[in-house]
Amino acid sequence: MIPLKDDNPSRSFPAVTISLIVLNVLVFLADLSLQGRLSKIYAMRPGYVTHYPMEMLPGGVPVWATLFTMMFLHGGIMHLGGNMLFLWIFGNNTEDTLGHFRFLLFYLVCGLAASALQILFSPNSTVPTVGASGAIAGVLGAYYYLFPDSRVTTLVFIVIFWTVIEIPARVVLGLWFLMNLYNTLLSTAATLNHAEQGGVAFAAHVGGFVAGLLLIRLMAPRRQPRFRTYEQPKFFDDQWR
């Protein structure tokens, strides 16, 4: 399933969401022009973070800082495009709820939580990890909590056929989470069998989603109904106080 858009209009301009998308695209283009040098140097490698956190990388960046730099690096155009599509669809409403500054803080904290779980699952791995997926997974967790009944226009593939249908956000995001949880368990089993795993950091996706689901409960203001079908007259309140 590939989400295309939602039916949940934003009430404010998503400045941070758009800025993050632009920044990710610019970093990707810079990395492309340098033949992937940025990704090679500033990717997060769990084993380096756990064993050599204070060692300096080229450019005077400590190894621990790759927990942040990896959020703005991507392994290819499909990786970038998929992440930015999810951020655009689900980020604007989350930013609208939290406000610009709190949304940026929320995004970064979820990214750190995602990396922390990835390190926990593979503390000695030297496989480079890049991508905004963990931070965006946090946004998905927040959206799941805030707008579970929003309708998401989704491209669905059935064997060789495809169709476009509207699906509740709770279903789209719930299935996304379960798929990543399943793949995390498979990756963990492979690691226990001493098979070095590369590819998608599924544990980071799970960690980011759970972090977003928990953190949004602390950071979001008390939710109010988006639309009111009946406005109670003020004089009615006054009579019964």
pLDDT over 90, % of the chain: 69
* 166 pLDDT tier (thresholds 50, 70, 90): very high
Gap between the Cα atoms of 68 and 61, Å rounded: 11
Q: Is the pLDDT of residue 227 over 80?
A: no
CB atoms within 10 A of CB 131: 27
- CA-based nearest residue to 42, from 73, 19, 77: 73
CATH number of the domain at 9, please. 1.20.1540.10
What is the pLDDT at residue 145? 96
More confident residue, 172 or 187: 172
Tell me how far CA of residue 216 lies from CA of 20, 146, 152, 212, 240, in angstroms: 19, 8, 20, 6, 36
Q: Is 205 marked active-site?
A: yes
CB atoms within 10 A of CB 239: 7
What is the pLDDT at residue 223? 56
Structure pTM?
A: 0.85
More confident residue, 124 or 226: 124
Number of independent structural domains in the chain: 1
Cβ-contact 107, 83 below 8 angstroms: no
Give the DSSP per-residue string, 1-36: -EEEEES---SS--HHHHHHHHHHHHHHHHHHHTTT
Q: Is the pLDDT of residue 226 over 50?
A: no
* Over residues 182-203, mean pLDDT: 64
Return the bridge partners of 168, or none. 151
* Structure confidence by residue, pLDDT tens digits, 54-69: 999 998 999 999 999 9
* 192 pLDDT tier (thresholds 50, 70, 90): low
Averaged confidence pLDDT in the chain? 87
Q: Is the pLDDT of residue 74 over 90?
A: yes
CB under 8 Å to 8, separation ≥6 — which residues? 93, 147, 150
Q: How wide is the angle at C-alpha 110 spanned by C-alphas 105 and 116, nearest 5°?
A: 130
What is the pLDDT at residue 70? 95
Gap between the Cα atoms of 177 and 40, Å rounded: 29
Query: Which residues span the domain enclosing 49?
Result: 2-239
Instruction: Find the range with the poorest average confidence among 160-164, 189-193, 206-210, 235-239.
Output: 235-239
Q: Is 194 marked active-site?
A: no
What is the pLDDT at residue 188? 66
Catalytic, out of 74, 150, 187, 205: 205
Q: Is the pLDDT of residue 175 over 70?
A: yes
pLDDT over 70, % of the chain: 86
Catalytic, out of 133, 150, 187, 194: 133
